[in-house]
Chains A and B, each alone.
Chain A
Amino acid sequence: MKICVCIKEVPDSDIPSNKLQIDNQSKKILPVENISNIVNGFDLNAVELALRFSENFEESSVSIISVGNNLTSDVIKKPLAMGADELITCEDPSIEKMDIKGIAKVLSKMILKTGPYDIIFCGRHASDFDNASVPFGISEFLSIPLVNIVKNIKKINKKIIIERIITDGFQKVESKMPLVVTTGNQVGDPRYPTLKGIMEASKKQIKKILLEELELEQNDIKPKVKIEEIYFPENENNVEIIEGNSNKEKAINLITKLKAEGVI
C-alpha cells in the first residue's frame, strides 16, 4: 500500500489574537513572539490515520508531501518522527502568491511525479486561511474520488470502506482506489514521536523537488483570488461582570438581569 499525506506548515493555531501581528507586506499573520510554527492540526490527524492504516499491510510506505516557501525543517519533519518513511518538499517564493488552484496543481504534479499512490490523505482544513478546498483540487486534477472528514478507513478485499462524519451523524461509504481522503480531529490524537523516531527523522534527508521540474503552465499558477489586506476586526468590549458575595448571589443577580432584559 503506497500512501501519501499532504501537510502544511502554519502558525500555531493556539496563539490568542492578542499575540498575533499582521504583516501586510507579505499578507500574513505572524506570532508576536518567537513562537514556533506547527504542522496544521488536521494534517497531523491525517498522518495518524495514514500510519494506522498502513500498519495493516506487510508492505506499505507513507510519504509526506509539503509545499511552501522557507519551510522549517524541524516542523515539517514531525510526521517522520511519528513514523512516516519519507518527506518530499517543493519550496519556492512564487508559491506564496498562488491561490488554492495553484497549490492544488503543485501538489497534484508532485503526487504524479513521486507516486503512484493508492491513497492520498489530507487534513480537511488548514488553520491559517481556512479555505478547506485544496484536497478537492487534487481529486479533480487527478480525476479520483474524494471522501471528506473521514474517521476510519479499512480495506476489505479490493474495496475501501470508510466511516465519514456528517454534521448530524456518520455514513459508511465505499470507494475504489486511488482516492483522496480528508481528516479532522475525529481521528483521535496524533501519536507522540518517540525519541528513536525523532533521532531517525533528524538524520533523514528531505527530498527536494524544484518548482521548475513540475512544468506548470502559466494558467495554473496565475491567481484568481488575492488578499488585499488583513486586519483585526474591532471588538468593543463592554462585558458586564456580575458581582456577588457568593455564587448563589451571583446566580440570583444574573437571572434577574436576564429576566429584565427579556432574555429568559
Chain B
Amino acid sequence: MNILSVIINENDDLNESSLEIFSFIDQLGSTNKISSLVFGGEKSAISKLCSDEIFYASVENSEALNPNNVLKTMDKFLSDKKFDLIVFQKDDISNFVAPALSFRKDFAYLPDVKKFVSKNESEIKFVRPVHGESAEAIYSVDISSTIIIKIRKSSFEIKQLSKQNSIVNEIILEEQDENTFKILETEKVKSEGIQLDEAEIVISGGRGIGSKEGFDNLKELAELLNGALGASRAAVESEWIETSHLVGLTGKWISPNLYFTFGISGASQHLAGCINSKNIVAVNKDPDASIFNHSKFGVIADCNDFIKEVIEEIKNIQ
C-alpha cells in the first residue's frame, strides 16, 4: 500500500506522540511505501522519520498552523498524489482536518483505530472502540478509494526513529480559504510544573473529591511525586480544576507509569484516556466502582481522608 502519515507539530519540537503512527503502520506489514507529510517543527528532527519520502511545510511559528490552512494545504497536496491510506494522530488540528478532508475528497474515514485486522482485494478491516469505549467493533472499509484513519492515541509504543535520512521535499503552507473562520486571539492555559501528557505520574481527582479545596491535596501529592494533575469531567464541570486537566475521550489521552485516582468512578469515557497507563491505582469508597476492574491496586476509603495519609507517608519516606 501507499501510505501517508500526517504529522502536526503544534510546537517547535517534533510531536513525539505522532511517532505512534509509525508503530501502527508497522502492523500493516513491511512492503508498504511510507510517505510523511509534516507541518511545522524543526527540520533536523524530521529527516529521521521512518519514511521513504518526506514532505514538509515549514512555518514561522507554531501559531501559524490552524485547521483551515492545514486542510487547504492537504487538499492541494492530494490533487496530484494518490495514497491508499492516510493516517493521522489525535490532536486539535487533526481532529478537524481528518474528517473534513474525507468529506471534501469523498474518502472513507475511520477515527480512533486501535488495530489492523486483515486486508483483501476489496476491503480492509480495523478495530476501534465504540460507545464511549465500553465496547469495540470490527469495521470493514472499502479500499476502492483512499481511506483516512485517525489512530487511537496512547495505544502504540513509540517507535525509535530510523537512522537513515530521507529526502525532505519542502511544500508551501497554503493560505486558508476566505470561507473559513479566522483566529483573532489564542490563550493557552499552561499549568505550572510538569505537563499532563509528559508526566510519569498523574494524580487525578473526580466527583468524590467534593470541592475545590480538595484539589489542593491532590496538587500537594502531585508536587511531592513530581507528577501532574488530572481530573474527570465531573470535577472539571464543577470548576474545581481547569478543563485542560481533563483526562478521557474528550480530554487528554495519557499513559503514565502511575495513574493514581481519587473519587473517580471509572466511566468508560474517562478510562479511554488513561487505560494504557502502566499502573492504575484507585481510591474509592464504593467497592463496586468500575475503576477497580481496571486497577492494579485498589483502596476502599474516603478519598479525602486517605490522601492526607498518603501525603504524610510520602513525606516520611522522602
Contacts and interface: CB of A to CB of B under 8 A. Distances in A.
Interface stretch (B19-27, B77-85, B138-146, B157-165): B138-146
Nearest to B186: A171
B290 A133 contact: no
Query: Taking each of A228, A235, A239, which has the highest tally of chain B beta carbons within 10 Å of its own beta carbon?
Result: A239
Q: How large is the interface on B (under 10, 10 to 19, 20 to 34, 35 or more residues)?
A: 35 or more
B130 A128 contact: yes
A228 B138 contact: yes
A50 to B, nearest CB: 18
A139 B100 contact: yes
B64 interface: no
B102 interface: yes
A162 B181 contact: yes
Contact of B108 (A137, A225, A240, A259): A225
B292 A17 contact: no
B310 to A, nearest CB: 5
Interface in B267-318: 267-269, 278-279, 281-282, 287, 290, 292-302, 305-306, 309-310, 312-314, 317
A252 B313 contact: yes
B188 A227 contact: no
Given A130-B111, A133-B109, 5 more contacts: A131-B109, A131-B111, A166-B92, A168-B188, A242-B299
Given A171-B183, A239-B295, A133 B111 contact: yes
State the majority secondary structure of interface residues on B: mixed
B145 A235 contact: no
26 contacts: A13-B132, A29-B131, A29-B135, A128-B130, A130-B112, A131-B109, A133-B102, A136-B100, A143-B179, A145-B180, A145-B181, A146-B100, A147-B181, A148-B95, A165-B243, A168-B188, A168-B190, A173-B182, A174-B182, A175-B180, A226-B139, A232-B134, A232-B136, A250-B309, A251-B306, A263-B258
A227 B138 CA distance: 6
Contacts of B112: 130
Contacts of A57: none
